[in-house]
Copies of this chain bind each other. A is one copy, B any other.
Amino acid sequence: MKNENRRIILGSRPSGMPTKENFQIVTEAIPEIKEGEILIQTIFLSVDPYMRGRMTGIKTYVDPFEVGKVLTGGVVGKIVESKHSNFQEGDIVEGQLDWADYSVSNGRHIRKVDPNLAPISTALGVIGMPGLTAYFGLLDIGKPKEGETVVISGAAGAVGMVVGQIAKLKGCHVVGIAGSQEKIAYLKEELGFDAVINYKTDQIKQALKTACPNGIDVYFDNVGGEISDLVMRFMNFHSRIVLCGDISQYNNEKIEYGPRFQSLLVTRSILMQGFIVSNYSKRFAEGYRDLAKWVSEGKLKYRETIIDGLENAPDAFIDLFYGKNIGKQLVRVSNE
């Protein structure tokens, strides 16, 4: 155990693209825990696009981050001290905790992670929040049927690559949209996507036409903006648009305008449903079970992009908006 605790606080609210200046590191003593609490040493920290929204200062489904207060996010860590009857020193746990070397928790919403089941980092990715997001969004809202065409934007991200693989397991024709040849090669060759469009270099409209000869039945949207405008033109009658996020808009300082598409939704009877994974909290056990099973059977692969050092978490976060990560972006804060 170290003898000090570094914490990353929100120094200022970003306007537009976040920069390193929006973050500050403070160093404090390792906190003392009280009866009923646990002290967790961070091993992996998750950086997630949705956190950008919390930096804006507007209340949505979660409270905004406060300037001058520590950032919080998904953490996998080890219990180094426990005064809580359900947890023991040495337990590996996952939860929403501080962007810090150490966090204190009363154990609520802290999930134990079995290190023998899968690498513990997967508790933040394929068998964690992003995996569940893919699982419930695709299966509960998208409801893909065998032979249908599923298009995924942000396909090489932590959520997108799980969506594509589950869609393949369900017998769908799976088309991804991603932003580099490395990502495309991985999705096609390793994960079995039927086609992947490079939104930076391909003529997206023509590429969609070629890749989706029968139109699109499910669109799992992580990016929004102009890519989605194009995808929507190919949606079939009775198709479903799963709105998971719109990372292309997160750094806009005001709401962007785009072509109105309500007419399209009416004439083609299209469903568009926004969701957040916590809507499914009562069914998480089912999701964890299926995801872990598919991982153990080799049916669900995953990839991680890991940066070392808590001090590099802001960079890892900013990189998300440049699409640098393939799969889950993690920060390794200490060794297992």
Does B274 contact A267, Cβ atoms closer than 8 Å? yes
Does A257 contact B255, Cβ atoms closer than 8 Å? no
Size of the chain A interface, CB-CB below 8 angstroms? 36
A269 on the B face (CB < 8 A): yes
Give the segment of A12-20, A28-36, A206-214, A241-249 that binds chain B: A241-249
CA distance A225 to B263 in the complex (A): 10
Interface string of A210-247 (1 = CB under 8 A from B): 00000000000100110010000000011000011110
- On chain B, the residues within 8 Å of A60 by CB distance are 267-268
A61 on the B face (CB < 8 A): yes
A256 on the B face (CB < 8 A): yes
CB distance from A140 to the nearest CB of B (A): 12
* Chain A residues touching B, majority SS: mixed
Does B265 contact A272, Cβ atoms closer than 8 Å? yes
Closest to A259 in B: B255
Interface string of A245-284 (1 = CB under 8 A from B): 1100100000111111011111111111111100100000
A11 on the B face (CB < 8 A): no
A107 on the B face (CB < 8 A): no
CA distance A264 to B273 in the complex (A): 11
Does A268 contact B61, Cβ atoms closer than 8 Å? yes
Considering residues A53, A246, A263, which has the most beta carbons from chain B within 10 angstroms of its beta carbon? A263
Cross-chain contact of A221 among B244, B246, B262, B271 (Cβ < 8 A): B262
Closest to A53 in B: B267
- On chain B, the residues within 8 Å of A272 by CB distance are 265, 271-273
CB distance from A7 to the nearest CB of B (A): 27
- On chain B, the residues within 8 Å of A244 by CB distance are 266
- On chain B, the residues within 8 Å of A249 by CB distance are 260, 262-263
| Identical copies of this chain, number | 2
- On chain B, the residues within 8 Å of A260 by CB distance are 224-225, 246, 249, 255-258
- On chain B, the residues within 8 Å of A259 by CB distance are 255-257
If A224-B263, A263-B249 touch, does A269 touch B258 (CB 8 Å cutoff)?
no
Does A266 contact B276, Cβ atoms closer than 8 Å? yes
CA distance A3 to B263 in the complex (A): 42
CB distance from A167 to the nearest CB of B (A): 20
Cross-chain contact of A279 among B255, B269, B275, B279 (Cβ < 8 A): B269
Closest to A60 in B: B267
CA distance A221 to B270 in the complex (A): 15
If A249-B263, A262-B243 touch, does A274 touch B279 (CB 8 Å cutoff)?
no
What is the interface of chain A, defined by CB distance below 8 A to chain B?
53, 60-61, 221, 224-225, 228, 237-238, 243-246, 249, 255-260, 262-276, 279
Q: Which 4 A-B pairs have the closest CB atoms?
A: A265-B274, A266-B274, A60-B267, A272-B272
- If A228-B262, A249-B260, A271-B274 are given as contacts, then 13 extra A-B residue pairs at C-beta distance below 8 Å, sorted by A number, are A61-B237, A61-B268, A61-B269, A238-B279, A243-B262, A245-B266, A246-B260, A249-B262, A258-B260, A266-B274, A267-B274, A269-B276, A272-B273
21 contacts between A and B (CB under 8 A): A53-B267, A61-B267, A61-B268, A224-B262, A244-B266, A245-B266, A246-B266, A249-B262, A255-B260, A255-B263, A257-B257, A262-B274, A265-B272, A267-B274, A268-B274, A269-B273, A269-B274, A269-B279, A270-B273, A270-B274, A271-B271
